[in-house]
């Protein structure tokens, strides 16, 4: 497939593509955007005074060949102060001999492949590549208008740790990722204010751990997104919290009976298995628990019954099944799950709100795929991983927008 050069917006190609002696591709451009006639020095009217050729690096060709743009830049002279000035164009970076799109490309490629690899391919100084990456990174997660009226705030695996992230639950892309919960606490209020102004009744789904009252205030307060927001707690976080707390209650029992923690490994592994998936040996062990360790078996049954609450074939309503399960754990005499019951009661409405929106179930089934990066790049920094993930979502939304515009243009053509 032959590579074709695409001129930046507001410019035109004025000559044939040339190949320089060092194998670089050279393209001559002129601006098609009207120049500002105002002198930048005194504000008076300025006049054209010839042109000069200025060279800018551009995105490499498909085969990796360097591309250089020679811009026929308009020169001016002021009729009052007689000082010289020249044309400015959004396609060309004011601080570097690079096009604006080349700066963005370097930033994205550096996030994917590292500064050294990009510098080697483009003959750009690694420090320049790093600065381009920083510029690109700053522009990410700025356009809140890209988001739909449904978002999820969940911890995701990024750069070796769990990081809070804002994910569009309808369009399925990561909008922002924070280095820590503390950073999210500091920055989320500004985002919430802008987001809630754009959507009258936004749906905001959060991980249960972000709204629980512990020794410190919750990371996300109930009123953060305003009184008209629909708040929901994700099922995956609720199941994780309930399972972990039931297991912690089991640990108290095991500590008294089996002080050696190494002997708990098989118990923990069996406890985590779903009853529907256990094989013959594991099923026998569960029956042994029922006879010899009734408290442990009771905890396992509570865990299984909780996970089955959300199954459509379980009968009755989710609300009824949840309330009945909470009553059971309150009356449980040995496991002491009162704190879990209180947490569920405090966020009951948010827990039930999750099931009013069918699209959320499908979204959470795809969450790992939406938030995952190339497994071959495990040594990336948080900044690079964040930039890669956010840039991928931004590119996805731009493609959707372009396709939408194209479809509308076709419709308008058909109506003529």
Same domain flag for 48 and 92: yes
229: in domain: yes
Assess if residue 255 is contained within a domain: yes
Residues 353 and 268 in one domain: yes
Q: What's the CA gap between 332 and 329, in Å, rounded?
A: 5
Residue 192 falls inside a structural domain: yes
**Least confident interval from 132-136, 226-230, 290-294, 337-341:** 132-136
Residue where one domain finishes, among candidates 139, 162, 177: 139
Q: Which of 78, 105, 139 is the last residue of a domain?
A: 139
Same structural domain for residues 348 and 378?
no
- 376: confidence class by pLDDT, cuts 50, 70, 90: low
How many folded domains does the chain comprise?
3
Q: What are the tens digits of pLDDT across the range 352-373?
A: 999 899 999 999 999 999 998 8
Determine contact, residues 154/129, Cβ cutoff 8 Å: no
Domain assignment present for residue 2? The answer is: no
Whole-prediction pTM value? 0.72
CA distance 138 to 373: 20
Are 310 and 282 in a shared domain?
yes
Task: Report DSSP letters for 83-110, one per residue.
Answer: -EEE---TTB-SSSSBBHHHHHHHHHHH
Residues 64 and 82 occupy one common structural domain: yes
**Do residue 169 and residue 274 come from a single domain?**
no
- In a domain? residue 408: no
- Residue-wise pLDDT for 181-232, tens only, equals 999 999 999 999 999 999 989 999 999 999 997 778 899 998 999 999 999 9
Residue at a domain's end among 139, 161, 188: 139
Shared domain check, 17 and 123: yes
Question: How far, in whole angstroms, is CA 277 from its chain's centroid?
Answer: 33
287 shares a domain with 355:
yes
Mean pLDDT of the chain: 86
H/E stretch holding 323 reads helix 318-331
Pair of tokens at residue 38: 């105002």
Domain that holds residue 18: 11-139
Cα gap 188→38, rounded to integer Å: 41
In tens, the pLDDT along 284-320 reads 989 998 998 888 999 999 999 999 998 766 556 889 9
Closest CA to 348 of 167, 211, 247, 144: 211
Together in a domain, 398 and 339:
no
- Distance (Å, whole) CA 194 – CA 202: 12
Q: Do 275 and 339 have their domain in common? A: yes
Minimum mean pLDDT range among 116-120, 177-181, 218-222, 283-287: 116-120
Domain assignment present for 74: yes
Q: Is residue 240 part of a domain?
A: yes
Shared-domain flag, residues 24 and 108: yes
Q: Answer whether residue 198 is part of any domain.
A: yes
How much is the pLDDT for 379?
Answer: 45
Tell me, yes or no, whether 71 and 156 share the same domain.
no
């Amino acid at each position: 497939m032959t590579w074709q050069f695409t001129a930046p917006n507001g410019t035109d190609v004025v000559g044939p593509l040339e190949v320089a002696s060092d194998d670089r591709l050279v393209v001559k451009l002129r601006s098609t955007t009207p120049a500002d006639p105002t002198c930048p020095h005194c504000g008076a009217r300025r006049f054209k005074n010839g042109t000069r050729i200025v060279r800018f690096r551009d995105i490499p060709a498909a085969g990796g060949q360097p591309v250089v743009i020679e811009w026929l830049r308009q020169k001016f002279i002021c009729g009052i102060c007689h000082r010289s000035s020249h044309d400015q164009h959004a396609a060309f970076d004011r601080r570097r001999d690079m096009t604006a799109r080349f700066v963005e490309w370097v930033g994205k490629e550096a996030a994917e492949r590292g500064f050294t690899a990009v510098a080697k391919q483009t003959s750009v100084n690694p420090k320049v590549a790093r600065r381009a990456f920083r510029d690109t990174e700053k522009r990410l997660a700025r356009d809140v208008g890209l988001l739909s009226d449904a978002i999820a705030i969940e911890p995701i695996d990024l750069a070796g740790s769990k990081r809070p992230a804002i994910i569009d639950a309808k369009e399925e892309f990561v909008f922002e990722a924070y280095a820590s919960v503390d950073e999210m606490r500091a920055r989320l209020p500004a985002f919430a204010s802008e987001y809630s102004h754009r959507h009258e009744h936004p749906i905001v789904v959060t991980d249960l751990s972000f709204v629980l009252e512990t020794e410190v205030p919750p990371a996300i307060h109930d009123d953060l997104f305003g009184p008209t927001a629909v708040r929901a707690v994700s099922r995956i976080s609720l199941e994780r919290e309930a399972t972990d707390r039931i297991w912690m209650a089991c640990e108290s029992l095991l500590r008294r009976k089996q002080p050696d923690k190494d002997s708990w490994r098989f118990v923990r592994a069996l406890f985590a298995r779903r009853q529907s998936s256990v094989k013959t040996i594991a099923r026998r062990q569960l029956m042994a628990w029922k006879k010899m360790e009734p408290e442990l078996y009771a905890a396992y049954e509570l865990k299984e019954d909780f996970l089955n609450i959300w199954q459509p074939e379980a009968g009755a309503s989710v609300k009824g099944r949840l309330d009945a399960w909470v009553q059971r754990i309150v009356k449980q005499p040995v496991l002491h799950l009162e704190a879990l019951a209180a947490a569920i009661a405090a966020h009951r409405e948010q827990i039930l709100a999750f099931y009013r929106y069918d699209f959320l179930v499908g979204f959470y089934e795809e969450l790992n795929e939406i938030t995952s990066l190339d497994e071959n790049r495990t040594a990336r920094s948080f900044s690079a991983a964040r930039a890669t993930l956010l840039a991928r979502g931004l590119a996805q939304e731009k493609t959707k927008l372009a396709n939408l515009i194209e479809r509308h243009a076709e419709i308008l053509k058909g109506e003529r």
